[in-house]
Amino acid sequence: MDEKNREGKGLKAGGGWAVVAAELRSAIDKGEHAPGSRLPSERALSERFGVSRVTMRRAIAELEGEGLLRVARGSGAYVRADMPVHFQLGNKVRFSKDLTATDANLTRKVLSAREVPPNADIALRLNLQPGEAVLEMCVVAYADELPVSVVIRSCSAKRFPRLAEKFSAMGSFTAALKDYGVTDYWRRSTDITARMPTEAEARLLQQSRLTPVLAYAGEDVDAAGTIISCQIGCFASERVVVTV
């Protein structure tokens, strides 16, 4: 009997998915699967441990519930990345200055931009006139290739036409806003709370729906005190440390 089959028989006899979870947990703790790395496929793991895919799936779900793994639909299971990104929250919020990560390249990408009628909350936050359209941008921040935050940034489409294009070209909202006469701006307020992610947020952050996020909402004002944008989004709680 080869080693794999002996291992499989031992696992089945010892409690099924719980034993598989313990063995996989031990392998991760020993560094056999590096932080942020993707595990072998469910089929490959099933063959390795000599168990059914149902048993393997249950073991992975257990480790996901512990926060040791994150499961991305259609992509696989990933070991939790122990790479905290630090975000300094003050009255001036600037991505390039406030978000720092050791040995990581920090970038942002506008995934979508569209002009839409504002809902009541956004209209109130931006103090918009009736019928005024909103430029709504979905922006994801990455540390290397790992997403650390996702935010819907909204502003007046009339005051800031083509802002998303300018940001994509310049790589900075601060620089892009200067083209509209906004030489400086401040964060008026930021509310932070912990909650479970939506399905879309979990997908964009490449994390489990079972892992909480640090949700936030805030408004930025220009030198005249006029609200220029509002941001509603969330940080991946296991990857970001927020300092106030």
Tens digits of residue pLDDT in 64-110 = 887 788 787 777 888 876 556 777 676 776 665 666 655 567 789 99
Cα Rg for the chain, rounded, in angstroms? 22
Of 51, 79, 107, the domain-final residue: 79
Same domain, 127 and 176: yes
The pLDDT, as a whole number, for residue 69 is 85
pLDDT digits (tens, 9 = 90+) for 171-196: 889 999 999 999 999 988 889 999 99
Same domain flag for 133 and 181: yes
Spatial neighbors of 92 by CB under 8 A, at least 6 apart, are 185, 186, 187
Q: What is the percentage of the chain residues whose pLDDT exceeds 90?
A: 52
CATH assignment at residue 184: 3.40.1410.10
| Same domain (yes/no): 122, 18 | no
How much is the pLDDT for 86? Answer: 74
Q: How many domains does the chain have?
A: 2
Distance of alpha carbon 217 from alpha carbon 234, whole angstroms: 8
Position 217 pLDDT exceeds 50: yes
pLDDT at 44 over 80: yes
Task: For residues 205 and 146, state if they share a domain.
Answer: yes
Same domain (yes/no): 106, 194: yes
Q: Domain end: 25, 47, 79, which one? A: 79
pTM of the model: 0.67
Average pLDDT over every residue of 134-156? 91
* Average pLDDT along the chain: 84
**CATH number of the domain to which 52 belongs:** 1.10.10.10
